[in-house]
């Protein structure tokens, strides 16, 4: 049955695509409507078109659509409240009592008719925006069509962190426009964190006077060693007037804003302004570094007065049902040593600091519930017991969401695996620096918000899902756009269209069409969907490289070094001398992807068999032992896949050169990244053998000498003949006091071994 259904659906898609291909080029609607039938003929959108909007709410949507047409197409329509003509009209029929956000569109050659509730009419216009095509003679056309549509999930969310990097009101409005275009209805505005407090609170002016600016920002990656900071004063905040303006702007676009005020952790900016609400009294500074910090709000009574005051002003500004109080990543270090916190634990009869966190959240919940609102927090609010009426946002995987739904609490799914748009969407070698992870468009598209672990009754507690956009590595709004597009389109379809007729290939074709809409509205986006990736394999005297593109039917072309000749890739390329290889995906002779660039350094050991005595840590063993001789010298800032990483263990590697070779030099790379607990080896010893059993030591060097070269250790020795070369790099061992990771085992990271 399911197969029959699938093939019917497939036929349905083919019919649609055939129609689309038939003159009304490239109709692509994201999210895919529930029912879409494209008919013969077109409706001509022109200066004589009149929108008939009889109700006040549909007038709002009509005006917004008209502004859009004016801004991006240079067409301004007339809007009437009465129907005075039969032809060339867009008629809006407000319909109460339908399932929320349902709409119908009927497009004929004479008229466009839209029916729906307030949200439905707004969404109908978002669909129509994606149906406008350019006809002959510069005419704007809509294909004749019948559409019926409604959403699957009620919580269709996008989050934005404005603390790590701040964007002004104009950018926030643009963000809201993007959400609206793709039928999201929830904007989670992450307004406070360690790196900046971004919302004016009248009763506590220092929150913005002091808390909204930091005196510098980390340069480059968190893992950089040693870390460096710029000294540029950085920050900003929204006045209450601006917030009201944004709330109203969003409401007109059917978007509710969920403000987030972080507690008890991620509070350094607030504590820099009001250190009296900490355990130690400070002083503190607004953080220049990313991460999780020990200084958090103290659970004493004065803090709860402050929290109540802040939440009260926040609730005055944001009329939505939910207020987000954070609750994630709150170390209990200070609480354990704080007399005030310990007194609360004793007074309330709490077993430990985890329950003190629950107590803290419950106090915030009481304030929120007293105003008839609901609290939502990150899944850590489950630890130590969930506040009585709280909703949970599940980010550390799906477990928190499952647990809360089983307890009958509302849940929003936002697991790092599929919903973190601060992760890479393509290869770290070609995408801009990101926090980590690898969350491709396909992965987002494949997300199913309802966990299999829930039964029918429990599933009803899953409100929906959202993507989180943490901005540590997104310094400006253009970069934010790049990270959300096109992944946001995939989430939009997951949340609106549901899982009934998912088809990634069809979606991908529609995404490509959507790129021209993003171009029209000036939004930046990643083209990682076209990226070429290489696999490298050993061959005698070098390596063989194979390319694939994630996008169907592209040509992969490559060029070598700085040559101008470009070759079309057919099989694989053998590399046996030092070479820089470039490749990219092309469609119709035009380059689509970013350029893959990789230098290969070929030595006597490249592509040879390497045996390891100790197995690298599974997290840093992507390519296995071959990583050490694949011709690719790992780069800095470090990219995990290019290294072998050993936790607490030594590298003992034996390279088999396959025959006796005269050798006089060995180079190896190691990583010094103290902030990630990665330390160079204590010593390196080189031994040789001709039978693979009896080894002679020919060189030994300790760390002091190697440190002078920082990155590579080079060993020169008198020429010798050998077939087997063994390298023993001793792990630095337990990390000494006053060094990052003190008391823990050091990591040892090794990359290319080159024997000459
Ligand atoms: C989070 O990503 N710390 C919620
Ligand atoms: Zn305390």
Over range 290-304, report the average pLDDT.
98
Which of 174-178, 588-592, 628-632 has the lowest average pLDDT? 588-592
Evaluate: CB of 397 within 6 angstroms of ligand 1: no
**pLDDT for position 501:** 79
**pLDDT for position 14:** 37
Residue 719 belongs to what H/E stretch? strand 712-730
Quick one: which ligand is closest to 343's CA?
2
Q: Determine the atom of ligand 1 nearest the C-alpha atom of 395.
A: 4
pLDDT at 755 over 90: yes
Evaluate: CB of 378 within 6 angstroms of ligand 1: yes
Tokens 């005006």 label which residue? Answer: 63
Phi, psi of 739 (to 5 degrees): -115, 150
Quick one: which ligand is closest to 400's CA?
1
DSSP state string for 129-164? HTT-EE-GGG-EEEEEEEEEE--S-SEEEEEEE-SS
pTM score, two decimals? 0.92
In angstroms, what CA-CA distances link 242 with 23, 173, 199, 249, 418? 46, 11, 10, 10, 32
Cα R_g (the chain), whole angstroms? 30
CA of 639 to the centre of ligand 2 (A): 40
Evaluate: CB of 329 within 6 angstroms of ligand 1: yes
Evaluate: CB of 445 within 6 angstroms of ligand 1: no
pLDDT at 21 over 70: no
Q: Determine the atom of ligand 1 nearest the C-alpha atom of 416.
A: 2
Quick one: which ligand is closest to 340's CA?
2
**pLDDT for position 20:** 39
Task: Copy the structure tokens of residue 248.
Answer: 């109203």
The half-sphere exposure of 122 on its side-chain side, counting CA atoms within 13 A, is 24
**pLDDT for position 696:** 96
Over range 206-221, report the average pLDDT.
97
Distance CA 6, CA 502 (A): 10
pLDDT at 2 over 60: no
pLDDT at 29 over 90: yes
pLDDT at 6 over 70: no
597-625 confidence digits (pLDDT tens)? 999 999 999 999 999 999 999 999 999 99
Q: Which residues are catalytic?
A: 193, 266, 329
CA of 416 to the centre of ligand 1 (A): 9
CB 384 within 8 A of CB 361: no
Nearest CA to ligand 1 atom 3: 328
Distance CA 290, CA 684 (A): 35
- Ligand 1 mutation target, pool 376, 418, 421, 470, most atoms within 8 A of CB: 470
Which of 251-265, 335-349, 545-559, 707-721 has the lowest average pLDDT? 707-721
CA of 160 to the centre of ligand 1 (A): 12
Evaluate: CB of 656 within 6 angstroms of ligand 1: no
Q: Is the dihedral of CA 160, 162, 166, 167 positive or negative?
A: positive
705-746 confidence digits (pLDDT tens)? 655 446 788 889 999 999 999 999 999 999 999 999 999 999
**pLDDT for position 708:** 45
Task: Pick 318 or 709 by higher pLDDT.
Answer: 318
pLDDT at 550 over 60: yes
State the pLDDT confidence band at 11, using cuts at 50, 70 and 90: very low
**pLDDT for position 138:** 78
Nearest to 327 by CA among 391, 378, 399: 378
**pLDDT for position 636:** 79
Tokens 């509730």 label which residue? Answer: 117
Which of 81-95, 210-224, 258-272 has the lowest average pLDDT? 81-95
Distance CA 549, CA 583 (A): 10
Q: Determine the atom of ligand 1 nearest the C-alpha atom of 266.
A: 3
Over range 560-589, report the average pLDDT.
91
Evaluate: CB of 420 within 6 angstroms of ligand 1: no
Evaluate: CB of 437 within 6 angstroms of ligand 1: no
Q: Determine the atom of ligand 1 nearest the C-alpha atom of 420.
A: 2
Quick one: which ligand is closest to 190's CA?
1
Distance CA 466, CA 485 (A): 14
CB 559 within 8 A of CB 582: yes
pLDDT at 9 over 60: no
Evaluate: CB of 285 within 6 angstroms of ligand 1: no
CA of 466 to the centre of ligand 1 (A): 13
Evaluate: CB of 328 within 6 angstroms of ligand 1: yes
Secondary structure letter of residue 381 according to DSSP = G
Task: Copy the structure tokens of residue 631.
Answer: 């011709």
Distance CA 626, CA 690 (A): 21
**pLDDT for position 71:** 96
Of the chain, the percentage scoring pLDDT greater than 70 comes to: 96
Task: Copy the structure tokens of residue 635.
Answer: 């780069």
Nearest to 361 by CA among 317, 328, 320: 328
CA of 457 to the centre of ligand 1 (A): 28
CA of 452 to the centre of ligand 2 (A): 41
Evaluate: CB of 309 within 6 angstroms of ligand 1: no
Quick one: which ligand is closest to 471's CA?
1
pLDDT at 342 over 90: yes
Evaluate: CB of 601 within 6 angstroms of ligand 1: no
Which are the contacts of 251, defined by CB distance < 8 A and separation ≥ 6?
none
Q: Determine the atom of ligand 1 nearest the C-alpha atom of 329.
A: 3
Nearest to 628 by CA among 452, 474, 444, 752: 752
Nearest CA to ligand 1 atom 2: 395
CA of 256 to the centre of ligand 1 (A): 21
278-296 confidence digits (pLDDT tens)? 999 999 999 999 999 999 9
**pLDDT for position 383:** 95
Which are the contacts of 737, defined by CB distance < 8 A and separation ≥ 6?
743
Q: Determine the atom of ligand 1 nearest the C-alpha atom of 393.
A: 4
Evaluate: CB of 421 within 6 angstroms of ligand 1: no
CA of 262 to the centre of ligand 1 (A): 11
**pLDDT for position 635:** 85
**Across all residues in the chain, what is the average pLDDT?**
93
**pLDDT for position 659:** 95
534-545 confidence digits (pLDDT tens)? 999 999 999 999
DSSP state string for 328-378? -S---HHHHH-HHHHHHHHHHT-SSHHHHHHHHHHHHHHHHHHTT-EEEEE
- Ligand 1 mutation target, pool 395, 400, 473, most atoms within 8 A of CB: 395
């Amino acid at each position: 049955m399911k197969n029959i259904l699938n093939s019917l659906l497939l036929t349905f898609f083919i019919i649609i695509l055939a129609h689309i291909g038939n003159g009304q080029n490239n109709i692509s609607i994201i999210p895919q409507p529930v029912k879409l039938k494209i008919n013969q003929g077109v409706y001509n959108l022109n200066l004589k078109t009149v929108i008939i909007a009889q109700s006040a709410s549909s007038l709002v949507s009509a005006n917004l659509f008209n502004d859009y047409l004016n801004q991006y197409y240079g067409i301004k329509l007339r809007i009437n409240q009465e129907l005075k003509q039969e032809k060339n009209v867009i008629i809006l029929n407000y319909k109460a009592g339908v399932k929320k956000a349902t709409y119908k569109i009927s497009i004929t050659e004479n008229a466009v008719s839209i029916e729906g509730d307030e949200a439905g009419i707004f969404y109908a216009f978002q669909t129509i925006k994606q149906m406008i095509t350019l006809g002959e003679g510069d005419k704007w056309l809509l294909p004749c069509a019948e559409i019926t549509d409604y959403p699957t999930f009620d919580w269709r969310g996008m989050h934005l962190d404005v603390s790590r990097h701040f964007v002004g009101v104009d950018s926030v409005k643009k963000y809201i426009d993007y959400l609206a275009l793709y039928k999201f209805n929830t904007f989670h505005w992450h307004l406070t964190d360690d790196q900046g407090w971004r919302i004016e609170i009248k009763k506590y002016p220092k929150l913005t006077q002091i808390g909204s600016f930091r005196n510098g920002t980390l340069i480059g990656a968190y893992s950089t060693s040693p870390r460096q900071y710029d000294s540029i004063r950085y920050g900003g905040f929204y006045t209450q007037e601006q917030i009201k303006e944004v709330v109203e702007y969003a409401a007109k676009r059917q978007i509710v804003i969920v403000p987030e005020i972080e507690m008890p952790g991620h509070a350094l900016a607030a504590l820099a302004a009001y250190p009296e609400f900490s355990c130690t009294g400070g002083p503190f500074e607004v953080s220049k570094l990313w991460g999780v910090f020990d200084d958090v709000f103290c659970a004493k009574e004065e803090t709860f007065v402050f929290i109540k005051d802040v939440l009260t002003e926040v609730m005055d500004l944001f009329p939505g049902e939910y207020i987000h109080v954070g609750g994630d990543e709150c170390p209990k270090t200070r609480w354990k040593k704080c007399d005030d916190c310990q007194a609360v634990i004793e007074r309330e009869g709490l077993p430990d600091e985890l329950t003190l966190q629950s107590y803290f959240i419950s106090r915030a919940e009481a304030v929120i519930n007293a105003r008839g609102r609901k609290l939502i927090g990150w899944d850590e609010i489950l630890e130590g017991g969930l506040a009585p009426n709280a909703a949970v946002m599940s980010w550390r995987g799906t477990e928190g969401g499952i647990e809360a739904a089983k307890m009958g609490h509302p849940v929003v799914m936002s697991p790092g695996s599929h919903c973190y748009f601060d992760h890479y969407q393509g290869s770290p070698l070609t995408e801009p620096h990101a926090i980590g992870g690898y969350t491709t468009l396909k992965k987002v598209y494949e997300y199913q918000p309802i966990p299999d672990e829930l039964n029918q009754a429990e599933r009803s507690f899953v409100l929906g899902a959202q993507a989180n956009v943490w901005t540590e590595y997104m310094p400006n709004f253009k970069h934010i756009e790049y990270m959300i597009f096109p992944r946001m389109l995939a989430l939009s379809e997951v949340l609106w269209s549901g899982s009934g007729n998912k088809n990634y290939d069809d979606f991908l074709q529609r995404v490509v069409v959507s790129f021209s809409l993003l171009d029209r509205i000036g939004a930046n986006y990643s083209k990682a969907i076209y990226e070429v990736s290489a696999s490298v394999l050993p061959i005698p005297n070098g390596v063989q490289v194979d390319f694939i593109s994630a996008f169907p039917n592209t040509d992969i072309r490559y060029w070598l070094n700085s040559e101008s000749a470009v070759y079309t890739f057919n099989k694989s390329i053998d590399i046996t001398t030092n070479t820089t290889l470039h490749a990219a995906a092309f469609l119709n002779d035009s380059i689509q992807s970013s350029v893959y660039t990789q230098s290969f350094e070929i030595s006597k050991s490249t592509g040879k068999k390497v045996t390891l005595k100790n197995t690298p840590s599974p997290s840093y063993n992507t390519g296995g032992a071959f990583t050490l001789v694949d011709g690719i010298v790992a780069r800095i800032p470090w990219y995990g896949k290019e290294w072998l990483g050993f936790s607490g263990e030594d590298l003992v590697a034996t390279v088999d050169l396959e025959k006796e070779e005269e050798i006089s030099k060995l180079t190896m790379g190691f990583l010094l990244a103290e902030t990630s607990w990665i330390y160079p080896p204590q010593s390196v010893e080189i031994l040789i053998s001709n039978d693979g059993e009896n080894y002679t030591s020919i060189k030994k060097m300790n760390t002091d000498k190697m440190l002078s070269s920082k990155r590579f250790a080079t060993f020169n020795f008198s020429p010798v003949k050998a077939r087997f070369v063994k390298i023993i790099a001793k792990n630095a061992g337990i990390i000494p006091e006053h060094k990052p990771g003190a008391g823990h085992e050091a990591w040892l990271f090794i990359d290319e071994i080159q024997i000459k």
